[in-house]
Amino acid sequence: MSRPPSRSSPVSVFAQRSARAGQARARSQQAAQRPSISGVAQQAGVSVATVSRVLNGHENVRPATRDKVLAAIDASGYRVNELARNLRTAESRLLLTMVPDFGNPFYAEIVRGIDSVARQHGYFMLLCDTGADPGRERSYFDMLRRRRADGAICLDPATIQQALGDASHALPWVACCEFDPSVGVPYAGIDNYQAAGDAVRHLLARGHRRIGLINSDVDYLYARLRQQGYLDALSDAGITPDPRWRMNLNSLDYEAGAAAAAMLTQQADAPSAIFAVSDTLAIGVIHGLRSVGKRVPDDVAVAGFDDISLAAQIDPPLTTIAQPMRELGETAARLLLQRLANPQAEVPGVLLPHRLVIRRST
């Protein structure tokens, strides 16, 4: 025989209601104890509106004030309700960084610079490996079209132009390192023509007349500019560049540099110095020369480009053109935030200074 359903006693019902009320009070107290935007403002000695501008990445906040607000946010543990804000503002607070080759250490410090500025302004950064493939670039830009991301920084804009054509102008992105001023997209980079000329003039000053060039694919603007800087520096010194001294590669990795160096040394009148347009190529060149019994710099001098961390560690340490990698990333991120804050504004391109770092490879 089944038992009739039991009924809760008045005492147990009262206990359950009291427990629920206690839980509600505890949740209310926890919410009251959570850091608030007004608490951050009070701690930083600014208005709530100023804290809001810092959190939303607006540029009209003095750097010292922004630093004070960010310090107060860190100290208080305040966290923005990202979901609520995104629904309210139709923002994702996500920035894409498109890198063509994760294996190239040149990009690492640039990415750190981008991420640093993004976090300071309340954004997250998503690192995208494009492999210099137009289809993959297009799929990432679809995230911008669908508002899954707010903006993008691209380190391979030539591929973007190939993937998107004229449609790329309507999307919020900036170029970093590789750029084309005629495209009309904000950029952060260096003067590649002048930098390459500086490297070649250094080799000329060391007494070299037969200077080889190991270059990237001339479909890239930076490769064309560095090549022209090389050619003009030789011409200005009264040297007619020998086409046999130049090699264009479709790879920037160590193995490609080593193979190219071995081929250059097989010539009857081989170069006594080699300028490579990236440090990864130049480091490969040093290994390639060593493999065929050539000493650096006694037999062949070598200069590179970028000043990645490994450049100072190899034997012999590499003479190179130093790019301000961290600053390039930070500048590109700030340009993108300016574009997002005011889509109608004319955001300029920025050229940062390079410098020649002389080490024992020349």
Query: 256 and 163 share a domain?
Result: no
Query: 136 and 102 share a domain?
Result: yes
Spatial contact of 278 and 252, defined as CB atoms under 8 Å apart: yes
Which CA distances in Å does 171 have to 84, 95, 104, 188, 271? 25, 13, 27, 17, 46
Query: 154 and 98 share a domain?
Result: yes
- Give 19 or 257, the one with higher predicted confidence: 257
Residue 344: pLDDT band by 50, 70, 90 thresholds? confident
Query: 256 and 283 share a domain?
Result: yes
DSSP string, 278-339: SHHHHHHHHHHHHHTT--TTTT-EEEEEE--GGGGTSSSPPEEEEP-HHHHHHHHHHHHHHH
Rounded Cα distance between 157 and 102, Å, is 16
Across the range 256-281, mean pLDDT stands at: 95
Q: What are 175-227's pLDDT values in tens digits?
A: 999 888 877 889 999 999 999 999 999 999 999 999 999 999 898 889 999 99
Q: What is the pLDDT of residue 10?
A: 54
Q: What is the pLDDT of residue 87?
A: 41
pLDDT at 125 over 80: yes
Across the range 330-334, mean pLDDT stands at: 97
HSE of 248 in the Cβ direction (CA atoms, 13 Å)? 10
List the CATH number of the domain containing 56. 1.10.260.40
Of the ranges 80-84, 137-141, 224-228, 270-274, which one carries the lowest mean pLDDT score? 80-84
Q: What is the pLDDT of residue 215?
A: 97
Q: How many domains does the chain have?
A: 3
Name, in order, each residue with C-beta under 8 angstroms of 196's C-beta and a sequence gap of 6 or more: 225, 226, 227, 228, 229, 230, 233, 275, 277, 305, 321
C-beta neighbour count of 219 within 10 angstroms: 12
Name, in order, each residue with C-beta under 8 angstroms of 16's C-beta and a sequence gap of 6 or more: 8
Residue 88: pLDDT band by 50, 70, 90 thresholds? very low
Rounded Cα distance between 143 and 139, Å, is 7
Q: What are 26-45's pLDDT values in tens digits?
A: 555 554 456 788 888 888 89
Domain boundary among 52, 79, 106: 79
Query: 185 and 133 share a domain?
Result: yes
Query: 290 and 301 share a domain?
Result: yes
Spatial contact of 262 and 291, defined as CB atoms under 8 Å apart: yes
Of the ranges 38-52, 84-98, 232-246, which one carries the lowest mean pLDDT score? 84-98
Q: What is the pLDDT of residue 15?
A: 56
SS3 58: coil
Q: What is the pLDDT of residue 22?
A: 59
pLDDT at 81 over 80: no
Residue 106: pLDDT band by 50, 70, 90 thresholds? very high
List the CATH number of the domain containing 312. 3.40.50.2300
Domain boundary among 12, 45, 79: 79
Mean pLDDT taken over the chain: 85
pLDDT at 276 over 50: yes
Q: What is the pLDDT of residue 89?
A: 47
Across the range 275-298, mean pLDDT stands at: 97
Q: What is the pLDDT of residue 31?
A: 46
Residue 8 lies in a domain: no
- Give 85 or 349, the one with higher predicted confidence: 349
Domain housing 219? 192-322
Peptide bond into 316 cis (omega under 30): yes
Q: What is the pLDDT of residue 35?
A: 76
- Give 136 or 86, the one with higher predicted confidence: 136
Which CA distances in Å does 188 have to 149, 238, 268, 332, 335? 21, 34, 42, 5, 8
- Give 260 or 158, the one with higher predicted confidence: 260
Query: 296 and 196 share a domain?
Result: yes
Which residues face 213 on adjacent strands? Answer: 246, 275
- Give 334 or 18, the one with higher predicted confidence: 334
Across the range 270-279, mean pLDDT stands at: 97
Query: 48 and 141 share a domain?
Result: no
Query: 198 and 279 share a domain?
Result: yes
- Give 239 or 181, the one with higher predicted confidence: 239
pLDDT at 297 over 70: yes
Q: What is the pLDDT of residue 197?
A: 98
Residue 345: pLDDT band by 50, 70, 90 thresholds? confident
pTM of the predicted model, to two decimals?
Answer: 0.74
Q: What is the pLDDT of residue 166?
A: 54
pLDDT at 84 over 50: no
Q: What is the pLDDT of residue 54?
A: 77
Spatial contact of 89 and 95, defined as CB atoms under 8 Å apart: no
